[in-house]
Amino acid sequence: MRSPSPAAWFRRALPTRRRAIAAAVVVVLLAAAVTWAVWAQGSGVRTESAMLTVRSGPAGDQPVDLDTTFYLPTDASSGRKVPAVLLAHGFGGTKESVRSDAEEFAGRGYAVLTWTARGFGRSGGEIHLDSPDYEVRDAQRLLDWLAARPEVRTDGAGDPKVGVVGGSYGGGLALLLAAQDRRVDAIVPMITWNDLSRAFLPESTGGAPTEGVFKKGWAGLFFGGGGNVGTGPAGLSGGTAAQPQGAPASAGPPSPAPGAGPGTGPGGAPAGAADPSCGRFAADVCAAYLRIATTGRADQAAVDLLRRSSPAGVLNRISAPTLLVQGEADTLFPLGEADANARGIAAAGTPVRVAWFTGGHDGGAGPRSDSDRVKFLTVQWLDHYVKGAGDPPGDDFTWSRIAGFDALDRGLVATGFRAADYPGLAGDARREVAVAGPAQPIANPPNGSPAAISSVPFAGGLASLLDGVAGDVPGQHARFESAPLTDAVDVAGAPTVTLRAASPTGEAVLFVKLYDVDPDGAATLPNGLVAPVRLTGLPQRVQDARPVTVTLPGIVRRVEAGHQLRLVVASSDQAYTTPAQPTVYTVAVDGAVSLPTVSGEPIPTTATVWRWVLAGLLAAIAIGLVVIVAVVRRRHRRQDRSVHPEYAGTPLAVRRLRKEYADGFVAVSNVDFEVHPGQVVGLLGPNGAGKTTTLRVLMGLTQPTAGEIYVFGRRLVPGSPVLSRIGALVEGPGFLPHLSGLENLRAYWRATGRPAGDAHFDEALEIAGLGDSVQRKIKNYSHGMRQRLAIAQAMLGLPELLVLDEPTDGLDPPQIAEMRRVLQRYATDGRAVLVSSHLLAEVEQTCTHAVVVNKGRIVASGPVEEIVGESPSVLFDVTDPVAARAVLDRLHGVRVLPESDGQLVVDTNGTARSDVVAELVRAGIGVDRVVPRRRLEDAFLALVGENSRGSGDR
Amino acid sequence: MGVTDPAGAARGYRPSATMPFGAEFRRQASRRRTQLALGFMVLLPLIILVAFQFNSGGDDDNGNNEFASLVDLATSGGLNFTLFSIFVSASFLLVVVVALFCGDTVASEASWGSLRYLLAIPVPRARLLTVKLVVALAYSGLALLLLAGTALAAGTLRYGWSPLRSTVAAELEPGEGLLRLLAVLGYLAVVLLAVAGLAFLLSVITDAALGAVGGAVLLWILSSILDQITALGALRDFLPTHFSTAWLGLLSTPVQTDDVVRGCISAISYATLFWGLAFWRFTRKDITS
């Protein structure tokens, strides 16, 4: 070991090979995880950014610069043409808002053209609100550009294979472009309008926009703050898209900060458009807004202008298959807008599919499951109608409902549903719920303040949490409540209700809302949606009033059993412009609220997959367990039960035992000895000689590297049943400190599972000799007491072989003497004892046989007398030591050892002592004493050498 | 002598009879830490109850989160009180208790030196581990049941048998609420299997009981911290703690089982992995303690 081989050095350098393998597995797993995480972000997409100049305007001759980015799959080329997607952003956004969506489409094999609409960001021109002459014509020129690209697949010359996708402002453009340009192959307009005038000037009894109630909150945000209003469900035009490094700074307002609206955009803004009241809005749009916002009423010219920017009038010209995605949490463009679009397009025979999701202008992208569904539908639609891949998507209707909060990220959770046909806002069935209450007077506050709060535009995902914020002002609203519902109702669509109103002025602006009231009294206004109505020609008294039917905005909500419905008619709402004059109206509600319902089936989510995974996992574990148990049983049956005939009667036979530790250290090697019945064998050696290692292997605690151990002829391996015939004390006592000595012995015996009668507690306790202390807790024991108890434990059941490691450690001399007698008595009746010790006297006095080990090897073994007798030295007490020395030196082989006090210690080296004495006497030297050196110290030192270093020091 | 056993064992010795479950159960029951841990499970709901008695109104400013709502609702009935007790103990206390039962069981025997005597009986190593594991899990389950049972009993006596309320769903009738509560307990028990697995593996690897228990809790906390870092994205799904609060979904209507199922998959996978490693290691290692 003084010159370790390179292999041994290597083994030491690596703690163990197993550990190295485990470490390698961990490293590989980590590397795989990191690679996977990085891989997911990288995509094969290349981009080209360019400022394109297109000509549009009523005559198609006004140049405008558009800031564009073109995304191409890296493998697209003129030889491998790909279909295209025109991806439009929302109001207040720029081409950067849709960057991540563009990359995703490009990753799916589409060439994607994004651009910043005129009037925003670095693009030139003014905002015309998706005017067919401006924005729509810009987009037509972009189609021309796409058709000219060699990588883009075409239907014919100048006609690209293209789908148009966009949310809100971009969705409106998609509809208007498809109506104006038949080259468009499919469109996916999301959360967008049907009639812009109705969206901003709604009237829920079916009145014209000129009679509508001005939605001042949203309109003001659009005009003044702008902001990124077009948050679509699939993250389309999401304002959170990070600004990439090195990309041209977006001049568009990324956030709805007031004053940072389109009016402040630098860059391509024409020098003349510096009117501070209009910003980058076109003059006619600006003028119309200012007129409406001032009076709260729209004139016909303003309505006409908004209508021009609306798909409502041109839906019959759309031939591109249309997927309409609309948000339920949307007080700007509620579900009714998509409903109108769906009807209009379907009337022309064009395929239409409708999907509702729980987000919207108020709700954002909605929960993850929702945005995933919308993304899936969009890709499916484009793949079939633009790329020409995949089955027809069909026209079934999907929607979702908020089911609760996500337990993990505290977001909302939606459950998706599916129905074969789109039923519209009227549902496929209706449920009438009677609401009651007296006719109530309500005050219209002067100048609309204080006003009820129903929704806060731009509260984003918080909107649905604001249900709790929604509040009505006392005295300004009337309540009509239903009885608690006997069973739950799944509302999907627009509820209707009939009311009567009276007003001293003959006119009234009212807000009708439907609350869901839980048994505790907490009222929830679903998505903050209200139905504004403007009634004219009203009588003074409510009895004279004519019933009018109000259609509330479409909602999707489950009203639980036990909940009540509360119909509230309020005179004011913060989001709307109300008459300035203070008035007192009287309102009454007749009959019932009619709730539309749709029967659909839940869309299976990934949960189903996970359930199968869980079932599979459990099954795999069960099967694995069964297999392992079977294998173990089988191995157990095949266990070597043969008896080595040579050792059948031998309590212990150790054959060529070798133990090499993982670090290359050889603790014992080539150890051979036997213990026969009736023997007390002492395993003698200095500290670290390998005694304890041998005993550990013997107890099945350690696996030997080589060699065998036989106990009564049975091969001993860890856990061999034959171990039950061995009682052991190895490396000191091991007891449960909180139990008494007796309890410890009993606990130990219980663990053996053997009959209590076989334990022989009394004998064992007598040997321990602890007296009453046996009832005390072990932790209060002295070292010697524990040692005695441990010996008693080893003797429990009177095993045929007793193995004791340093049994006298901690015992005082009388106890040692007693122990000696006990062991000698024990080794009768065919039993045997193996004692290890580093104390020579102990072995000499206790044992019948001794095995001397040193540095892991046996140096001598046999009866104690034999080992002692092997001592070759004799002490001579002579009259003339000097002469004697001379005589002895002449004798062949005899050697005089260094002596002391005039005594001669002689190594006779085989020469008979009598011959030596005769020789001395013959030389005239008087011999007083001849003492054979029988002390084991000599024998021991002679056998193991003078080097006192233990084998552990090798 | 009378050796009749074909394997040469002593009379009355059968490997499958060694270390009976009852013996190990009593062995652990005699330990002070077992008694203290279980006692605390009984005491905690009572302490909470007393604390609620002292808090007579005052400021209701508990923040605006689901915790606040659970606090506000805790006194509305026995079921809600139980839910609150579970909520406050789920993230840490129960983790420590389970880690204690599972991490201490083998390592403490090793540190006392009694492990080698058990193996020299001989108790087959796989059997020793199985019995130790089953007993540790039994005590962990007992702790969970004691906590919930005491809270339910004390809460019902004090606040009555009322429907289970929560902010995420409509209130549930007491019968239905009790079922949900049991489902929550069941899910918690499954999630804690991952802790149990980790602690048990450490218990087999090290001879220091404190190291096994502390190590398991430490790694659990580390996993919780990593789970807070949203930048890790989908990698967080692989953290053993990621789905530990998914039981809140069991309170909503309809019950959200998506994350619960994934949490079960995660916890069972981790537990199986850790236990597998523990058995693989223990049946091969040299006992040097």
Three-class secondary structure of residue A58 per DSSP: coil
How would you class A923 by CB atoms within 10 Å of its CB: exposed for 0-12, middle for 13-18, buried for 19 or more? middle
Q: What is the pLDDT of residue B218?
A: 94
Quick one: pLDDT band at residue A465, thresholds 50, 70, 90?
Answer: very low
Asked if A719 lies within 8 A of B246 by C-beta distance, the reply is no
In chain B, what residues touch A518 (CB-CB under 8 Å)? Answer: 170-171
- The pLDDT, as a whole number, for residue A468 is 46
Range of the domain at B83: 19-50+63-282
Q: Is B30's CB within 8 Å of A607's CB?
A: no
* Among A12-21, A39-48, A857-866, B203-212, the least confident range: A12-21
Q: Which of B7, B168, B261 has the CB atom closest to A722's CB atom?
A: B7
Give the pLDDT confidence score for residue B62 in this predicted structure. Answer: 47
Q: Which residues of B touch A562 (CB under 8 A)?
A: 170
Amino acid at A122: R
d(CA A133, CA A145): 18
CB A530 within 8 Å of CB A512:
yes
CB contact under 8 A, B259 and A408: yes
Q: State the Cα–Cα distance between residues A78 and A76, nearest whole angstrom.
A: 7
Tell me the two tokens of residue A120.
């925003």
**Residue of chain B nearest A736, judged by CA positions:** B112
- Mean predicted confidence (pLDDT) in A734-763: 90
- The reported pLDDT for the residue numbered A74 is 85
**Cα–Cα nearest to A243, from A117, A121, A70:** A121
Q: Minimum mean pLDDT among A180-189, A269-278, A854-863, B245-254: which range?
A: A269-278
CA of A518: which chain B residue's CA is closest?
B170
Across A242-256, A337-351, A456-470, B164-178, least confident range: A242-256
Closest residue of chain B to A720, computed from CA coordinates: B122
Assigned domain for B55 exists:
no
Rounded Cα distance between A440 and A442, Å, is: 6
As a whole number of angstroms, the distance between CA A696 and CA B85 comes to 49
| B243 CA: distance to closest CA in chain A (Å) | 7
Q: Is the confidence at residue A462, as pLDDT, over 60?
A: no
Is A45-243+252-419 assigned to CATH 3.90.1150.10? Answer: no
Residue pair A92/A63 in contact (Cβ under 8 Å)? The answer is no
Average pLDDT value over all residues in chain A: 82
Which residues of A fall within a CB distance of 8 Å from B238?
33
Class of domain A429-602: mainly beta
* B52 Cα to chain A: minimum distance (Å): 22
Q: What share of chain B is helix, strand, coil (3-state, %, to 5)?
A: 75, 0, 25
How high is the pLDDT of residue B140? 96
**Does A424 touch chain B if contact means CB atoms closer than 8 Å?**
no
**Residue environment code for B121-142, b if the CB has 16+ CB neighbours within 10 A, otherwise e:** bbbbbbbbbebbbebbbebbeb
Q: What does the pLDDT read at residue A268? A: 38
Does any domain span residue B14? no
Q: Does the pLDDT of residue A900 top 60, yes or no?
A: no
CB contact under 8 A, B121 and A752: yes
Give chain A positions within 8 Å (CB) of B170.
518, 560, 562-563
Number of domains in chain B: 1
Fold classification of A872-933 (topology level) = Alpha-Beta Plaits (3.30.70)
Q: Kindly report the CATH class assigned to A645-862.
A: alpha beta
CB contact under 8 A, A617 and B265: yes
Expressed in angstroms, the distance from the first to the final Cα of chain A is: 7
Of A251-265, A332-346, A725-739, B233-247, least confident by mean pLDDT is A251-265
The token pair at A210 is 């000129």
| Interchain contact, B117 vs A748, CB within 8 Å | yes
Chain A residues in contact with B19 (beta carbon < 8 A)? 751, 753
Phi, psi of A29 (to 5 degrees): -60, -45
Low-confidence winner among A460-469, A753-762, A785-794 (lowest mean pLDDT): A460-469
Q: Average pLDDT in the A852-878 region?
A: 78
* Residue A50: HSE in the Cβ half-sphere, 13 Å Cα cutoff: 10
The pLDDT tens digits for A280-297 are 888 888 888 888 888 888
Chain B residue with CA closest to A723: the answer is B122
Integer angstrom CA distances of residue A256 from A221, A226, A252, A259, A676: 8, 6, 10, 9, 95
Q: Which two tokens stand for residue B66?
A: 């689901």
Name which of A703, A725, A733 is nearest B9 (Cβ-Cβ): A725
CA distance A353 to A338: 10
Across the interface, whether the CB atoms of B170 and A605 are under 8 A apart is answered no
A550 forms beta bridges with A497
Q: Residue A256: pLDDT above 60?
A: no
Q: How far is A562 from chain B (nearest CA, A)?
A: 9
| Interchain pair B247, A613: CB under 8 A | no
C-alpha separations of A198 from A208, A251, A337, A508, A940 in Å: 8, 31, 9, 19, 112
* Burial (CB count <10 Å: 0-12, 13-18, 19+), residue A235: buried
Best of A490, A660, A744, A752 to disrupt the B interface by mutation (most B CBs within 10 Å)? A752
Closest-CA residue to A590 (of A437, A767, A395):
A437
CA–CA dist A432, A590 (Å, integer):
12
Q: Cβ of A831 under 8 Å from any chain B Cβ?
A: no
Question: Does the model's pTM come out above 0.80?
Answer: no
Q: How far is B96 from chain A (nearest CA, A)?
A: 22
Run of H or E residues at B165: strand B164-166
Please check whether residue A521 touches B, CB under 8 A: no
For the stretch B93-103, pLDDT in tens is 999 999 999 99
Q: Which two tokens stand for residue A928?
A: 């007083």
| Reported confidence tier of residue A273, pLDDT bands at 50, 70, 90 | very low
Amino acid making up residue B39? G
Best mutation target among B114, B119, B135, B260 (most A Cβ atoms within 10 Å) is B114
The conformation of residue A929, written as its DSSP 8-state character, comes to E
Q: Which residues of chain A from 550 to 589 reach within 8 Å of chain B, CB to CB? A: 560, 562-563
How far off is chain A from B92, nearest CA to CA, in Å? Answer: 17
For residue A234, name the pLDDT band (cuts at 50, 70, 90): very low
Compute the distance between CA of residue A208 and CA of residue A533 in angstroms, rounded to an integer.
Answer: 11
Joined tokens for residue A508: 């009234």
pLDDT at A363: 78
Which secondary-structure segment (H or E) carries A746? helix A741-752
Q: Which is nearest to A434 in space by CA: A566, A336, A252, A608?
A: A566
B8·A725 Cβ contact <8 A: yes
Residue B216 lies in a domain: yes
- Among the listed residues A341, A41, A37, A32, the one whose alpha carbon sits nearest the alpha carbon of residue A179: A341
- Angstrom distances, CA of residue B62 to CA of A691, B57, B68, B92: 66, 12, 5, 20
- Which residue's entry shows tokens 């803004």? A269
| Residue contact A701–B286, C-beta within 8 A | yes
Q: Does A242 touch chain B (CB under 8 A)?
A: no
Min Cα–Cα distance to chain B from A586, Å: 34
Q: Cβ–Cβ of B262/A752 closer than 8 Å?
A: no
CB environment B45-60: b (16+ within 10 A), e (fewer): beebbeebeeeeeeee
Are B18 and A702 in contact (CB < 8 Å)? no
CA distance A656 to A704: 10
List of chain B residues whose C-beta atoms are within 8 Å of the C-beta of residue A621: 268, 272
Touching check for A761 and chain B: CB below 8 Å? no
Query: Which of B227, B255, B256, B269 to probe the A interface (max A CBs under 10 A)?
Result: B256
- Please tell me the distance in Å from B146's CA to the nearest CA on chain A: 24
What are A491-546's pLDDT values in tens digits? 999 999 999 999 999 889 999 999 998 887 888 888 888 999 999 888 988 888 88
Residues facing A507 on adjacent strands: A536
Provide the ipTM: 0.89
Own/partner long-range contacts of B236-243 (Cβ < 8 Å, ≥24 apart): B237/B262, B237/B266, B238/A33, B238/B266, B240/B194, B240/B195, B240/B198, B240/B266, B240/B267, B240/B270, B242/A408, B242/B266, B243/A408, B243/B191, B243/B267
DSSP count for chain B of H helices, then E strands = 10, 2
- Residue A4 confidence (pLDDT) above 60: no
As a whole-number percent, the residues of chain A with pLDDT over 90 amount to 30
> Is A362 a residue whose pLDDT tops 60?
yes
Report how far apart, in Å, the C-alpha atoms of A817 and of each of A267, A785, A841, A848 are.
Answer: 106, 16, 12, 16
Looking at residue A915, what is its pLDDT?
A: 83
CB contact under 8 A, A724 and B13: yes
Q: Is residue B6 part of a domain?
A: no
Nearest to A755 among B12, B114, B265 (CB): B12
pLDDT, mean of residues B119-123: 90
Residue A714 touches partner B, C-beta closer than 8 Å: yes
Q: Which of A406, A409, A487, A628 to mutate to test the interface with B (most CBs of B within 10 A)?
A: A406
DSSP letter for B248, please: G
The C-alpha atoms of residue A312 and residue A132 are separated, in whole angstroms, by 13
Cis previous bond, B254, omega within 30: yes
Interchain pair B261, A33: CB under 8 A: no
**Local confidence band at A461 (pLDDT 50, 70, 90 cut-offs):** very low
